[in-house]
Amino acid sequence: MKSHMLVTAEWLAARAGAPDVLVVDCRKDLADPARAPRDYAEAHVPGAVRAELDRDLSDLSRHGLGRHPLPDASAFSKCLSRWGWVPDRTVIAYDDAGGALAAARLWWMLRIAGVTRAAVLDGGIAAWRAEGQPVTGDVPAVVPTAVDLSFDAAELVGYDELAQGLRDDTVTLIDARAGARYRGEVEPLDRVAGHVPGALNRPYGDNLDATGRFKQPDALRREFEALIGDRDPRRVVHMCGSGVTACHNLLAMEHAGLNGSRVFAPSWSGWSSDPARPVETGSSRP
């Protein structure tokens, strides 16, 4: 295990198939919704169940909360029950986007539900294959369970709390989107281009090295401290376009030992949906 939040392919290979490990394939292609189910059907880590971002890790019926609204805890509990999860099973999530779509999202949802036995496969399925580990198209047989979790409300940041924290300068907001979207130069998805006034920019891809794995903790710590200065990590709130890749920055901070930050789940798609909310363009301010 690389850390208690990231595991290596070697670590997982030694435990895949064990009854106390649940592997979840979280792959998602936002441009081609049919791709991830097809890729899972063709080849996945043996024993892995599949998580669908739009169905299992979001509730698209909840309006005003962004493009990937957080489901309520009861719906998430039913999802985990369908996968056969019980509290003594360690969840290992993976995808093919360095953890950003949407393994880190599942890890974060488990975290705010109080589940500590969860981690992301560092490097995802690419790292798994690079080490010559087997893949299969077989769908595992699952024995459903019945679990009932709740989300820690203190871990969830809403519109009012975020706006107040920015006014009081008690919140440091970090936007995980690519620089061009953050600066408002392009906006392919949401109502308006730009960012929440006062937000800093840290594209989630900066958390990864050239191999697609997370950088070492000391390197990540230096980079995040250069961004937030001496501000308390517990005052940091992460956002992105829809509350998915923001979880990648939170995971990176935790991996770096900068503990306690949170996620604004509605993110830019939620914030920008209301024309009354302010918008800023251009570069971030330190």
Per DSSP, helices labelled H in the chain are 9-13, 35-42, 73-82, 103-112, 124-130, 159-168, 179-183, 217-228, 246-255, 267-271
Contacts of 210 (CB under 8 A, 6+ apart): none
Tokens of 35: 């791709």
Check residue 3 and give its pLDDT. 63
Q: Do domains 6-151 and 157-271 have the same CATH topology?
A: yes
Written as tens digits, the pLDDT of the chain (286 aa) is 556 899 999 999 999 889 999 999 999 999 999 999 999 999 999 999 999 999 999 999 999 999 999 999 999 999 999 999 999 999 999 999 999 999 999 999 999 999 999 999 999 999 999 999 999 999 999 999 999 999 999 999 999 999 999 999 999 999 999 999 999 999 999 999 999 999 999 999 999 999 999 999 999 999 999 999 999 999 999 999 999 999 999 999 999 999 999 999 999 999 999 999 999 999 865 5
Check residue 78 and give its pLDDT. 98
Please give the CATH architecture assigned to the domain spanning 6-151: 3-Layer(aba) Sandwich (3.40)
Q: Using CA atoms, how far apart are residues 18 and 275, in angstroms rounded to an integer?
A: 51
Check residue 2 and give its pLDDT. 57
Check residue 16 and give its pLDDT. 86
Phi–psi pair at 121, nearest 5 degrees: -70, 115
Active-site residue list: 240
Name which of 185, 212, 182 is nearest 197 in CA terms.
Answer: 182
Please give the CATH architecture assigned to the domain spanning 157-271: 3-Layer(aba) Sandwich (3.40)
> Residue 146: exposed, middle, or buried by beta-carbon count in 10 A (0-12, 13-18, 19+)?
exposed
Tokens of 12: 């997982």
Residue extents of the structural domains in the chain: 6-151, 157-271
Identity at 246, one-letter amino acid code = A
